[in-house]
Chains A and B, each alone.
Chain A
């Protein structure tokens, strides 16, 4: 891809690029453009009118659901009163006590799942980053076939995730899958036993492979764009000084793409931490216990075992954690795109 032609900047800041020579523009963040003498109330009114549909939808699809989500964590909501849920009894902290007490079986499962989800996130994001980085570094050099490879590497990102997950489910099939065909029949790695990949502890590995396959092209895409912002003279100067490629990578590449890296790692971590589709399509409604992640666990509690209050309590904890993470994200994005726009 070429240099980013369109720059997504933070709404708060002025577009610093291509600032027109006239009329003069104030650098003030709060008042972006003063053309003639605009009457302030009129301007505000138009702003409200334009935002109104979006604000209404945000209220209906995000804000009310989030408040409601917190509220139902305090209700005794079961399949008996779900259709008439406004009459569900208020149970206070009972859901939290039942569901999240580490000494109880449900609480134990919750904390195990939380730990597993964190481990899963670290592995998937780490592997995706390494693969994406390798591809970005090597595709940043000139050679024949580069353009084709660049598009080809984005294909997993463009395909619907459920399609490629189904394909992997087919490949991981114990009896007649392609994975066992290679590992057992061709390489004779497991003797005569064909391992199960979608049951037991192997399912965790299988889920990681599928997720990395889908995620790393995104890391590649972002890192590729970040690398293109580094001027090649920097590398030329460094290699004249005799710096090895590895040293150049560590001393120039990594520091210079730090802001893009921070956003990339945070975003991919959040996506992976929230992963639902891969386990759901790979395993069905209930994952093997060695491969249960947080989002599927909440789903399972709410829509498989009809324990809505418990699902709600877990959602509240997840919500709090994500609020913290997205605050970090917002700071990074606003700061970073402010710097990037030149």
Chain B
């Protein structure tokens, strides 16, 4: 676009306004997390009077934050790894092989990623109840059960994104390997996966981020000992008051891993998302 003076002025105004819009909540989170408790009750002060790291120390003992943390990590990492493994196989088949039922399979994968968790929550809840009654296997309230429900959104996304990545890799690469005597699975393992690595990592990171932020399933299907961070943070609010400074300190702490992961793979993630495979 050819830049006129008006264009530059408009650009400066719009981008400044948007930056402020983004920055204000981030500033509130950060500054509150370094305030002593007496400074967070009462009207909000933009310039903190005292700065302290005490909230970052106290937050671990006020609520069982470490347990929520480990629950979140177990659930998120397992769901991510599981869905990536299952999705790599399925996506490769979808991208490269022909088999009957391929079309319905892709249609189901594509459409279910548009459905909200609320549609699956109650049925899964009832299925878990039924499984316990008939087999004694406890899923509701366990991390294992939660992992299964997280696959409802990580798996279709991973299959769809990865089949796109695989389809974009020239098939000649595997063909060459197969002419050299490698099996198709061997070609997938030795040729396709290394090439697709950035895409796989991006998909894994995105699944990780979505699972890390999940609220609905976690709020119904966990109990006191299996709560994840997303619902566990409520514990900073008591009947009478909310420990905002510790809550914000915990928020900063639990946001850092996903923020860093996002920035690291941003380029690949953005490319994949932007090229048509959304969510």
Q: Which of B185, B262, B266, B278 contacts A222 (CB 8 A)?
A: B278
Complex Cα–Cα for A78 and B276 (A)? 42
Chain A residues 295-311 with CB under 8 Å of chain B are: 295, 298-299, 302-303, 308, 311
Q: How many residues of A contact B (CB 8 A)?
A: 136
Complex Cα–Cα for A55 and B89 (A)? 11
* Contact yes or no, A177 B44, CB < 8 A: yes
Residue B32 at the chain A interface, CB threshold 8 Å: yes
| Residues of the B chain whose Cβ atoms lie less than 8 Å from the Cβ of A23 | 172, 175
Among the 9-residue stretches A26-34, A108-116, A200-208, the one with 4 or more Cβ atoms under 8 Å from chain B is A26-34
* Contact yes or no, A160 B102, CB < 8 A: no
Q: Which of B19, B94, B152, B247 contacts A62 (CB 8 A)?
A: B152
Chain B residues 66-119 with CB under 8 Å of chain A are: 86-87, 89-90, 92-103, 105-112, 114-119
Q: Which of B32, B175, B251 contacts A163 (CB 8 A)?
A: B251
Chain B residues 13-36 with CB under 8 Å of chain A are: 14-15, 18-19, 21-22, 24-26, 28-29, 32
Closest to B122 in A: A302
Complex Cα–Cα for A244 and B130 (A)? 66
| Residues of the B chain whose Cβ atoms lie less than 8 Å from the Cβ of A122 | none
Q: Provide the B242-274 mask, 1 if CB < 8 A to any CB of A, else 0.
A: 101001100100110011001100111011111
The answer to whether residues A6 and B102 also contact, given A225-B270, A270-B114 and a CB cut-off of 8 A, is no
Q: Which of A20, A85, A245, A322 contacts B7 (CB 8 A)?
A: A245
* Contact yes or no, B3 A135, CB < 8 A: no
Shortest beta-carbon distance, A281 to chain B, in Å?
Answer: 6
| Residues of the B chain whose Cβ atoms lie less than 8 Å from the Cβ of A72 | 122-123, 126
* Contact yes or no, B122 A158, CB < 8 A: no
Closest to A268 in B: B278
Complex Cα–Cα for A326 and B258 (A)? 29
* Contact yes or no, B276 A8, CB < 8 A: yes
* Contact yes or no, A167 B251, CB < 8 A: yes
Chain B residues 131-151 with CB under 8 Å of chain A are: 133, 148-149, 151
* Contact yes or no, A162 B151, CB < 8 A: no
Q: Provide the A215-256 mask, 1 if CB < 8 A to any CB of B, else 0.
A: 001000110111000001001100100000100100000000
* Contact yes or no, B120 A43, CB < 8 A: no
Complex Cα–Cα for A156 and B258 (A)? 12
Complex Cα–Cα for A32 and B155 (A)? 24
Complex Cα–Cα for A156 and B163 (A)? 28
Complex Cα–Cα for A295 and B244 (A)? 28
The answer to whether residues A295 and B118 also contact, given A44-B99, A168-B25 and a CB cut-off of 8 A, is yes
Q: Which of B41, B46, B149, B168 contacts A9 (CB 8 A)?
A: B168
Complex Cα–Cα for A299 and B129 (A)? 18
Residue A106 at the chain B interface, CB threshold 8 Å: no
Residue A189 at the chain B interface, CB threshold 8 Å: no
| Residues of the A chain whose Cβ atoms lie less than 8 Å from the Cβ of B106 | 11-12
The answer to whether residues A274 and B116 also contact, given A6-B275, A8-B161, A340-B276 and a CB cut-off of 8 A, is yes
| Residues of the B chain whose Cβ atoms lie less than 8 Å from the Cβ of A222 | 273-274, 278
| Residues of the A chain whose Cβ atoms lie less than 8 Å from the Cβ of B277 | 8, 333, 337
Q: Which of A44, A62, A271, A280 contacts B216 (CB 8 A)?
A: A280
| Residues of the A chain whose Cβ atoms lie less than 8 Å from the Cβ of B100 | 44
Residue A47 at the chain B interface, CB threshold 8 Å: yes
Residue A15 at the chain B interface, CB threshold 8 Å: yes
The answer to whether residues A336 and B43 also contact, given A57-B155, A65-B120 and a CB cut-off of 8 A, is no
* Contact yes or no, A57 B263, CB < 8 A: no
Residue B199 at the chain A interface, CB threshold 8 Å: yes
* Contact yes or no, A61 B120, CB < 8 A: yes
The answer to whether residues A236 and B118 also contact, given A33-B96, A57-B151 and a CB cut-off of 8 A, is no
* Contact yes or no, A333 B14, CB < 8 A: no
Closest to A336 in B: B276
Residue B64 at the chain A interface, CB threshold 8 Å: no
Chain A residues 270-308 with CB under 8 Å of chain B are: 270-271, 274, 276-277, 280-281, 295, 298-299, 302-303, 308
Complex Cα–Cα for A337 and B164 (A)? 9
* Contact yes or no, A326 B110, CB < 8 A: yes
Closest to B178 in A: A35
| Residues of the B chain whose Cβ atoms lie less than 8 Å from the Cβ of A217 | 22
Residue A64 at the chain B interface, CB threshold 8 Å: yes
* Contact yes or no, B120 A213, CB < 8 A: no
| Residues of the A chain whose Cβ atoms lie less than 8 Å from the Cβ of B175 | 20, 23, 33, 35
Q: Name the 5 nearest CB pairs between A and B, nearest first.
A: A8-B164, A47-B99, A225-B274, A20-B172, A274-B116
| Sample (12) of A-B pairs whose CB atoms are under 8 Å apart | A8-B161, A17-B168, A23-B172, A46-B93, A46-B97, A61-B124, A154-B262, A158-B259, A221-B273, A267-B279, A318-B116, A326-B114
Beyond the given pairs A248-B1, A340-B275, 5 more chain A to chain B contacts, judged by CB atoms under 8 angstroms and listed by A's residue number, are: A30-B98, A32-B96, A170-B247, A170-B248, A329-B114
Residues of A within 8 A of B (CB): 1-15, 17-20, 22-23, 25, 30-33, 35-36, 43-44, 46-48, 50-51, 53-55, 57-58, 60-66, 68-69, 72, 82-86, 131, 134-135, 137-141, 143, 149, 151-156, 158-164, 166-168, 170-171, 175-178, 180-181, 185, 213, 217, 221-222, 224-226, 232, 235-236, 239, 245, 248, 263-264, 267, 270-271, 274, 276-277, 280-281, 295, 298-299, 302-303, 308, 311-312, 315, 318-319, 322-323, 325-327, 329-330, 333, 336-337, 340-341
